[in-house]
């Protein structure tokens, strides 16, 4: 399982690198990738991470739901506060790519933790993160002040999920704690999809195009979850 986590961590890094260079060449396509990635992120949270977290807790069903909601709202509050700080400080071009690199490190750790649960969950989380990291690369390239700066940030961001996957796979976590971590991951995924990727996509897409791609991402993750669960 650790080998799979490392492989998908490397693929996530490659996806962000490819997404960034894609937007440098075709910036008009960025919003399309963001819409599809948002559906896949929210689908992974709703159809796999949260149900798995609830199953691990047994009779304590409300706790994972509460953790997911709290983490989602905390991410929203932090994002709003950080936007005010970056606007006030004038360092948005360097601070936000740095946050995205830190987020990619967490993505890699999420893959490692998911593979600790089951191979199916690991694959599902990895697929959602692959789609999302493609959009992360798009965001890094879009927010960097120059092409050279974008290339440097993309290289650093490509290494971050590999390091995160190694860290996540090396941890031996008891089921109750793993349940809370999965619930927290679900909250992060829901925040990224609903409050980050969808608004960014709507800024560059017509509503019907964004809605169709979000629905496609949700449906694809539902199908993949059903196939993995029935295997």
Tokens found for residue 142: 């879009």
Instruction: Report pLDDT digits (tens) over 164-209.
Output: 888 887 777 787 888 888 898 889 889 888 988 898 888 888 899 9
Percent of the chain with pLDDT over 70: 80
| Confidence (pLDDT) at 211 | 94
| Confidence (pLDDT) at 223 | 83
CA distances from 105 to 43, 47, 66 (A): 21, 23, 25
Instruction: Report pLDDT digits (tens) over 84-109.
Output: 655 544 444 455 567 677 778 878 88
Terminal CA-to-CA distance of the chain, rounded, Å?
Answer: 17
More confident residue, 79 or 201: 201
Cα gap 29→38, rounded to integer Å: 15
- The answer on pLDDT for 2 being more than 80 is no
| Confidence (pLDDT) at 90 | 47
């Amino acid at each position: 399982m650790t080998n799979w986590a490392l492989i998908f961590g490397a693929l996530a890094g490659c996806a962000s690198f490819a997404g960034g260079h894609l937007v440098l060449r075709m910036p008009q396509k960025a919003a399309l990738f963001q819409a599809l990635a948002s559906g896949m992120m929210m689908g992974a949270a709703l159809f796999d991470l949260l149900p798995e977290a609830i199953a691990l807790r047994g009779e304590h069903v409300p706790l994972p739901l509460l953790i997911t909601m709290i983490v989602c709202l905390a991410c929203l509050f932090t994002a709003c506060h950080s936007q005010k700080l970056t606007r006030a400080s004038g360092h948005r071009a360097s601070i936000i790519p740095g946050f995205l690199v830190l987020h990619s490190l967490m993505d890699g750790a999420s893959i490692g933790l998911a593979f600790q649960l089951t191979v199916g969950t690991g694959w599902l989380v990895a697929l959602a993160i692959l789609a999302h990291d493609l959009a992360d690369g798009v965001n890094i390239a879009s927010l960097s002040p120059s092409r050279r700066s974008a290339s440097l940030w993309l290289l650093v961001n490509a290494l971050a999920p590999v390091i995160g996957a190694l860290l996540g796979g090396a941890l031996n976590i008891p089921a109750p704690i793993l349940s809370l971590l999965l619930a927290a991951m679900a909250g992060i995924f829901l925040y990224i999809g609903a409050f980050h990727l969808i608004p960014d996509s709507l800024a560059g897409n017509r509503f019907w195009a964004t809605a169709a791609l979000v629905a496609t991402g949700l449906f694809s993750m539902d199908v993949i979850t059903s196939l993995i669960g029935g295997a």
